[in-house]
């Protein structure tokens, strides 16, 4: 996924504000699912909501206002009720490694009760060569 860095994404020095990477990861996860035909809106209507239960970010190099980032997203692990998404962020032109991170999401029913992933979602994600 591509992210263009706007002024609103940066601190007073023109460097991407550290917390914004978590927002970029969220967009990348949603895009990853949508690209595979898994509509987050449809999953929500079916009573399956994803909640982040753990997140990690390793900052490798700054990214600056005006640059474009490429975010590669994979699924290295999946259990019956959780998915771990891994993200690698590079600056598009130089290919400089900017950030690496991951987030583990649990599937809930919307009331906080953990649910299992449905068979269609599991099959779709397992059939992806970039995933588990």
> What domains are there in the chain, each with its CATH number?
2-126 (3.10.129.10)
The rounded distance, in Å, linking the Cα atoms of 79 and 131 is 12
pLDDT, tens digit (0-9, with 9 covering 90-100), for 5-27: 999 999 999 999 999 999 999 99
pLDDT of residue 96: 98
DSSP bridge pairs for 103: 55, 85
Tell me the average pLDDT across 92-110: 96
pLDDT, tens digit (0-9, with 9 covering 90-100), for 108-129: 998 889 999 989 899 999 886 6
Averaged confidence pLDDT in the chain: 94
Catalytic positions, written as ranges:
11
- % pLDDT > 90, the chain: 87
Q: Determine the Cα angle at 110 with ends 104 and 115, to 5°.
A: 60
pLDDT of residue 132: 56
- Residues 105/32, Cβ–Cβ less than 8 Å: no
Tokens matching residue 117: 């992933």
pLDDT, tens digit (0-9, with 9 covering 90-100), for 37-54: 999 999 999 999 999 999
Q: How far is CA 132 from CA 68, 82, 121, 127, in A?
A: 28, 12, 13, 8
């Amino acid at each position: 996924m591509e992210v263009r860095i706007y002024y609103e994404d940066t601190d007073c020095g023109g460097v991407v504000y550290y917390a914004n990477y978590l927002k970029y990861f969220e967009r990348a996860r949603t895009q990853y699912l949508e690209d595979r035909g898994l509509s987050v809106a449809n999953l929500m209507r079916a009573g399956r909501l994803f909640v982040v239960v753990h997140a990690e970010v390793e900052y490798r190099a700054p990214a600056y206002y005006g640059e474009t980032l490429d975010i590669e997203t994979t699924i290295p692990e999946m259990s019956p009720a959780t998915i771990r998404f891994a993200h690698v962020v590079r600056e598009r032109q130089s290919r400089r490694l900017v950030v690496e991170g991951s987030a583990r999401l649990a599937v809930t029913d919307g009331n906080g009760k953990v649910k299992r992933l449905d068979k269609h979602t599991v099959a779709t994600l397992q059939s992806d060569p970039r995933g588990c």
